[in-house]
């Protein structure tokens, strides 16, 4: 390069970058594109019209899914985020549009799902005046967001969006909400986007403390009856390979929480089951038999522990957790490791001894056999009577060989699916864990399919939960989202009915629910559907459903008053888990 | 046993952060006996000082939860109300 050319280049570099002036709404869309967003779930309205107008010009770059309700949009974004590992993005208008997001925000907050929600707001001069469709969405969503912000100036939008993405997906992920006033959307400002890489007051990833790892390794190596429980933190940190290597080296039996399902292959010889109130019998009981309990990426939620006074009192506890506020929150840890699960497991792997714990693992076998004989075999192969939920899920699991994303709603079918579907691959289990949101399943499945279009996505729902968000059949039909929907129809709000039977002397107070003709309903949305009432027809119907290209609804009439066992009665300890009703 | 604790929080001066701190106390039904909030020399930073009436265990858990709020720079927890009154004097309130 000549001296003159070099000089010209240097001069050019000195000149300030010419930044174009665009509207706040355009800046919002440009910023989302800069963040790599390819899918947005939303519903337009008055206060977010400028953003939708800006979106209209970018439809070649981003896919917008118009749901039938804002709750559908946010659950879809959750499903998308959970399967793809990306941030789910939602648009909604002010007032009711924003408040309709609240359930999804709370769900995403408790289940650590990264979301960025953008809501429109009335013009800044009308804030606090009870203007049409004005809600104080910042205060409404404070307890259910990891962070939120209201923007009243166009120039603040790109930085807010960059910060929102960084916060949503870093550390323990969570939902973030940006509320943008309409005048900020219309206002013009020079556009400049810079990805957020750090925030002075926020430290999402703790530095691994080698002394904590050493203390944990010593406890693990000294254990005679070690027991490992894994939660969603393993999936979120991408630590499934490290987990498998750790388990295989140490020979420690491993159980999973509800959201941890799919972190470890359920057909692995060291996998001992699903923890929790309706989880497996042996794995719950043995919590009170182990001498060292290693918990990775979980928060000892009350559905896992039962009565804390009776939980693992004999065991020394190693708790590996990214969120410092979760350590010692519910269960006191002798060896806390405040760290990302992947980093901690990698470091521990070098320090733990290669072991086998055959005698200890054999102790699980008797209880596993009891559960198999008293419950599982009857659930899978009922000889008489109506179809059982377990039978359906067992066939589904066999036919898919665990190669599908399974999205569940909330209730009995959720517990049965978690017990009997053979999860093998990470991010294939999508369910509402902490919040237990009925109506989550159908929209979350839509999002899950859009997040992983190459995967088979199957929504398993009850008739109650399905009716909470069934309007999303419109979204599925309009966009030809090829999810498979299974409604296990017992004409009851089954889990509540079970509790009424067991603890309220069978007073079925408002749990007997009627539904529409689901086949006709699907037909109205141009979705093929089939109803099954006989045991002999289940396998063929599932096969037909799986072979169908595009969405398909399968309604299966199941036993009306089936109870899900085993169970830890409310307020009891994990050792009080019962296999059947006391005689 | 419940007693007074002083929780001092330094944070970025964002509209919702004080509400978030109060929400954490409210969720755990921790009584806020006194609250002092003021802007610092740098108007982008603020300080909130609480007297909480609760047990030591809960006070520590509240501190951890406040500490993880995005805008929070630093938290300090002291037994008793003395530290609160010192901060109030510094802020020219007492």
Q: Which of A8, A20, A61, A132 is catalytic?
A: A132
Reported as half-sphere exposure (CB side, CA atoms, 13 A), residue A426 has a value of 19
B61 vs A138, A202, A329: nearest CB: A329
Shared fold status for A20-190 and A210-363:
yes
Task: For residue A54, give the nearest of A213, A209, A187 by alpha carbon.
Answer: A187
Active site residue A182: yes
Give yes or no for A313 touching B (CB within 8 A): no
Active site residue A70: yes
- How many residue pairs from chains A and B have C-beta atoms closer than 8 A? 38
Q: In the CATH scheme, what is the homologous superfamily, with its name and number, of domain A386-558?
A: Thiamin diphosphate (ThDP)-binding fold, Pyr/PP domains (3.40.50.970)
Active site residue A244: no
The ipTM estimated for the assembled molecules is: 0.95
Specify the pLDDT at position A340.
98
Mean pLDDT, contiguous 10-residue spans, chain A (583 residues): 61 62 98 98 98 97 98 98 98 98 98 98 97 97 97 98 98 98 98 96 96 98 98 98 98 98 97 96 97 98 96 98 97 98 98 97 96 96 92 98 97 98 97 98 98 98 98 98 98 97 95 97 98 97 98 98 93 92 73
C-beta atoms of B72 and A149 within 8 A: no
Q: State the CATH architecture for A20-190.
A: 3-Layer(aba) Sandwich (3.40)
Chain A, nearest residue to B15 by Cα: A149
The domain spans of chain A are 20-190, 210-363, 386-558
The yes-or-no verdict on residue B38 having pLDDT over 70 is yes
**Coil vs helix vs strand at A28:** helix
Specify the pLDDT at position B91.
83
C-beta atoms of B70 and A202 within 8 A: yes
Chain A, nearest residue to B24 by Cα: A143
The yes-or-no verdict on residue B79 having pLDDT over 60 is yes
Residue A367 has φ and ψ, to the nearest 5°, of -70, -35
Specify the pLDDT at position A229.
98
Q: In the CATH scheme, what is the homologous superfamily, with its name and number, of domain A210-363?
A: TPP-binding domain (3.40.50.1220)
Give yes or no for A148 touching B (CB within 8 A): yes
Chain B residue numbers touching A199 (CB-CB < 8 A): 70
Active site residue A495: yes
Domains of chain B listed by start with CATH number: 3-38+47-90 (3.30.70.260)
Question: Residue A376: how many CB atoms within 10 A of its CB?
Answer: 18
- Angle of CA points A412, A516, A526, to nearest 5°: 105
Alpha-helical regions (H) of A197-250? 210-222, 232-236, 240-250
Long-range contacts of A16-22 (CB under 8 A, 24+ apart): A17/A192, A19/A190, A19/A191, A19/A192, A20/A190, A20/A191, A21/A188, A21/A189, A21/A190, A21/A191, A22/A188, A22/A189, A22/A191
CA B39/CA B12 separation, integer angstroms: 10
Chain A residues 43-62 within an 8 A CB cutoff of chain B: none
Reported as half-sphere exposure (CB side, CA atoms, 13 A), residue A302 has a value of 7
Specify the pLDDT at position A295.
98
Give yes or no for A142 touching B (CB within 8 A): yes
Specify the pLDDT at position A488.
98
CA A372/CA A350 separation, integer angstroms: 37
C-beta atoms of A149 and B16 within 8 A: yes
Q: Name, in order, each residue with C-beta under 8 angstroms of A413's C-beta and a sequence gap of 6 or more.
A: A389, A460, A461, A462, A488, A494
Question: Residue A255: how many CB atoms within 10 A of its CB?
Answer: 26
Q: Which of A86, A146, A182, A225 is catalytic?
A: A182
Q: Which of A277, A415, A485, A495 is catalytic?
A: A495
Active site residue A372: no
Joined together, the tokens standing for residue A350 give 């070098």
């Amino acid at each position: 390069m000549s001296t003159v050319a070099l000089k010209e280049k240097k001069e050019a570099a000195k000149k300030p970058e010419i930044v174009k002036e665009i509207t706040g709404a355009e800046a919002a869309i440009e910023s989302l594109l800069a963040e790599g967003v390819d899918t947005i779930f939303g519903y337009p309205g008055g206060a977010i019209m400028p953003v939708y107008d800006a979106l209209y010009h970018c439809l070649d770059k981003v896919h917008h899914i118009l749901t039938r309700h804002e709750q559908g949009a946010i659950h879809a974004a959750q499903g998308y985020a959970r399967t793809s590992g990306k941030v789910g993005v939602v648009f909604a208008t002010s007032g009711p549009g924003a408040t309709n997001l609240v359930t999804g925000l709370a769900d995403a907050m408790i289940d650590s799902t990264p979301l960025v929600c953008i809501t429109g707001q009335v013009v800044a001069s009308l804030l606090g005046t009870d203007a049409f469709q004005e809600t104080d969405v910042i205060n409404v969503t404070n307890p259910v967001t990891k962070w939120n912000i209201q923007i009243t100036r166009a120039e603040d939008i790109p930085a807010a969006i960059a910060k929102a993405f960084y916060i949503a997906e870093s550390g323990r992920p969570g939902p973030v909400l940006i509320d943008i006033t309409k005048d900020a959307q219309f206002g013009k400002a020079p556009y400049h986007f810079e990805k957020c890489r750090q925030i002075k007051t926020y430290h999402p990833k703790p530095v691994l403390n080698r002394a904590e790892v050493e203390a944990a390794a010593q406890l693990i190596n000294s254990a005679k009856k070690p027991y490992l429980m894994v939660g969603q933190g393993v999936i979120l940190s991408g630590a499934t390979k490290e987990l498998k290597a750790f388990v295989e080296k140490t020979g420690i039996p491993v159980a999973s929480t509800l959201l941890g399902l799919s972190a470890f292959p359920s057909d692995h010889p060291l996998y001992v089951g699903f923890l929790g109130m309706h989880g497996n019998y042996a794995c719950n009981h043995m919590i009170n038999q182990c001498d060292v309990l290693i918990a990775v990426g979980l928060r000892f939620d009350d559905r896992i522990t039962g009565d804390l006074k009776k939980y693992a009192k004999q065991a020394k506890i190693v708790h590996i957790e990214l969120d410092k506020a979760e350590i010692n929150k519910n269960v006191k840890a002798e060896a806390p490791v405040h760290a990302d699960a992947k980093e901690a497991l990698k470091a521990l792997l070098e320090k733990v001894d290669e072991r086998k714990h055959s005698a200890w693992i054999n102790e699980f076998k008797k209880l596993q056999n009891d559960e198999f004989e008293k419950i599982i075999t009857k659930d899978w192969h009922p000889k008489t009577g109506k179809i059982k939920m377990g039978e359906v899920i067992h066939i589904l699991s066999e036919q898919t060989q665990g190669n599908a994303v399974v999205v569940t709603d909330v209730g009995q079918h959720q517990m049965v699916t978690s017990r009997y579907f053979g999860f093998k691959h990470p991010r294939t289990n999508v369910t509402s864990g902490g919040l237990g949101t009925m109506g989550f399943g159908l929209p979350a499945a839509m999002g899950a399919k859009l997040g992983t279009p190459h995967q088979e996505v199957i929504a398993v729902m009850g008739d109650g939960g399905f009716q909470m968000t069934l309007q999303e059949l419109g979204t599925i039909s309009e966009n030809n989202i090829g999810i498979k929907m299974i409604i296990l129809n017992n004409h009851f709000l089954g889990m509540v009915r079970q509790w009424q039977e067991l603890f309220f002397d069978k007073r079925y107070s408002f749990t007997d629910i009627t539904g529409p003709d689901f086949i006709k309903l699907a037909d109205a949305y141009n979705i093929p559907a089939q109803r099954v009432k006989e045991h002999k027809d289940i396998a063929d119907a599932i096969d037909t459903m799986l072979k169908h290209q595009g969405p398909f609804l399968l309604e299966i009439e199941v036993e009306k008053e089936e109870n899900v066992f085993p169970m830890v009665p409310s307020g009891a300890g994990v050792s009080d888990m019962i296999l059947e009703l006391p005689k | 046993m419940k007693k007074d604790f002083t929780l001092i929080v330094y944070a970025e001066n964002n509209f919702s952060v004080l509400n978030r701190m109060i929400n954490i106390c409210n969720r755990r039904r921790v009584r806020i006996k006194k609250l002092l909030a003021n802007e610092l020399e740098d108007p982008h930073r603020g300080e909130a000082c609480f007297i909480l009436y609760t047990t030591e265990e809960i006070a520590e858990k509240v501190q951890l939860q406040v500490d993880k709020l995005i805008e929070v720079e630093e938290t300090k927890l002291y037994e008793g109300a003395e530290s609160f009154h010192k901060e109030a004097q510094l802020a020219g309130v007492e």
